[in-house]
Amino acid sequence: MTATAHEITYRLDQKRSLNGAFPGPKSQALNERRAAVVAAGVSSGVPVYVEDADGGIIRDVDGNFFIDLGSGIAVTSVGASDPAVVAAVQDAAAHFTHTCFMVTPYEGYVAVAEQLNRLTPGDHEKRTVLFNSGAEAVENAVKVARLATGRDAVVAFDHAYHGRTNLTMALTAKAMPYKTNFGPFAPEVYRMPMSYPFREENPEITGAEAAKRAITMIEKQIGGDQVAAIIIEPIQGEGGFIVPAEGFLPALSAWAKEKGIVFIADEVQSGFCRTGEWFAVNHEGVVPDIITMAKGIAGGLPLSAITGRADLLDAVHPGGLGGTYGGNPVACAAALAAIGTMEQHDLNARARHIEEVALGRLRELAADPSAGGVIGDVRGRGAMLAIELVQAGSKEPNAELTKAVAAACLQEGVIILTCGTYGNVIRLLPPLVISDELLLDGLEVLAAAIKANA
Ligand code: PLZ
Residue 27 Cβ < 6 Å to ligand 1:
no
Which CATH number belongs to the domain containing residue 90 in this structure? Answer: 3.40.640.10
State in Å: Cα 168 to ligand 1 middle. 10
Residues 82 and 39: their CA atoms lie apart, in Å, by 31
Residues 319 and 149: their CA atoms lie apart, in Å, by 19
State in Å: Cα 135 to ligand 1 middle. 7
Task: Please tell me whether residues 304 and 382 are part of one structural domain.
Answer: no
pLDDT of residue 1: 38
Write down which residue in 318, 344, 370 finishes a domain: 344
pLDDT tens track, the chain, 454 positions: 344 555 789 999 999 999 989 999 999 999 999 999 999 999 999 999 999 999 999 999 999 999 999 999 999 999 999 999 999 999 999 999 999 999 999 999 999 999 999 999 999 999 999 999 999 999 999 999 999 999 999 999 999 999 999 999 999 999 999 999 999 999 999 999 999 999 999 999 999 999 999 999 999 999 999 999 999 999 999 999 999 999 999 999 999 999 999 999 999 999 999 999 999 999 999 999 999 999 999 999 999 999 999 999 999 999 999 999 999 999 999 999 999 999 999 999 999 999 999 999 999 999 999 999 999 999 999 999 999 999 998 999 999 999 999 999 999 999 999 999 999 999 999 999 999 999 999 999 999 999 999 9
Residue 116 Cβ < 6 Å to ligand 1:
no
State in Å: Cα 367 to ligand 1 middle. 33
Closest listed residue to residue 404, CA positions, set 369, 361, 452:
452
pLDDT of residue 5: 54
Q: Which atom of ligand 1 is nearest to the CA of 132?
A: 20
Task: Please tell me whether residues 67 and 143 are part of one structural domain.
Answer: no
Query: Does residue 358 fall inside a structural domain?
Result: yes
Residue 73 Cβ < 6 Å to ligand 1:
yes
Query: Does residue 8 fall inside a structural domain?
Result: no
Chain segment 1-17, per-residue pLDDT in tens: 344 555 789 999 999 99
Residue 162 Cβ < 6 Å to ligand 1:
yes
Query: Does residue 14 fall inside a structural domain?
Result: no
Residue 268 Cβ < 6 Å to ligand 1:
yes
Q: Which atom of ligand 1 is nearest to the CA of 294?
A: 20
Task: Please tell me whether residues 164 and 297 are part of one structural domain.
Answer: yes
Q: What is the domain range of residue 354?
A: 25-75+346-453
| Distance (Å) of CA 14 to CA 10, 46, 352, 449 | 7, 20, 21, 22
Residue 134 Cβ < 6 Å to ligand 1:
yes
Residues 428 and 402: their CA atoms lie apart, in Å, by 13
Task: Please tell me whether residues 267 and 317 are part of one structural domain.
Answer: yes
Pocket mutation for ligand 1, best pick of 162, 231, 429 (most atoms within 8 Å of C-beta): 162
Closest listed residue to residue 140, CA positions, set 287, 257, 293:
293
3 state SS of 374: coil
Closest listed residue to residue 187, CA positions, set 233, 141, 152:
152
Residues 131 and 143: their CA atoms lie apart, in Å, by 13
Residues 345 and 349: their CA atoms lie apart, in Å, by 8
Residues 82 and 72: their CA atoms lie apart, in Å, by 14
Residues 105 and 430: their CA atoms lie apart, in Å, by 35
Query: Does residue 271 fall inside a structural domain?
Result: yes
Closest listed residue to residue 439, CA positions, set 351, 320, 312:
351
Task: Please tell me whether residues 157 and 255 are part of one structural domain.
Answer: yes
Residue 266 Cβ < 6 Å to ligand 1:
yes
Query: Does residue 433 fall inside a structural domain?
Result: yes
Residues 86 and 91: their CA atoms lie apart, in Å, by 9
Residue 158 Cβ < 6 Å to ligand 1:
no
Tell me, what amino acid is at 63?
Answer: G
Which CATH number belongs to the domain containing residue 410 in this structure? Answer: 3.90.1150.10
Residue 115 Cβ < 6 Å to ligand 1:
no
Count of domains observed in the chain? 2
Query: Does residue 140 fall inside a structural domain?
Result: yes
Residue 135 Cβ < 6 Å to ligand 1:
yes
State in Å: Cα 81 to ligand 1 middle. 21
Residue 62 Cβ < 6 Å to ligand 1:
no
Write down which residue in 344, 371, 399 finishes a domain: 344
State in Å: Cα 13 to ligand 1 middle. 30
Burial class (CB in 10 A: 0-12, 13-18, 19+), 37: exposed
CB neighbour list of residue 33: distance below 8 Å, 6 or more residues apart: none
Output the CA torsion sign for 363, 368, 370, 373: positive
Closest listed residue to residue 69, CA positions, set 318, 432, 314, 364:
432
Q: Which atom of ligand 1 is nearest to the CA of 237?
A: 3
Output the CA torsion sign for 209, 213, 218, 219: positive
Element (H, E) at 394: none
Cβ(357)–Cβ(341) under 8 Å? no
Task: Please tell me whether residues 282 and 428 are part of one structural domain.
Answer: no
Pocket mutation for ligand 1, best pick of 268, 281, 303, 425 (most atoms within 8 Å of C-beta): 268
Residues 68 and 53: their CA atoms lie apart, in Å, by 9
State in Å: Cα 136 to ligand 1 middle. 10
Task: Please tell me whether residues 382 and 258 are part of one structural domain.
Answer: no
Furthest CA-CA distance within the chain = 63
Write down which residue in 315, 344, 373 finishes a domain: 344
Query: Does residue 7 fall inside a structural domain?
Result: no
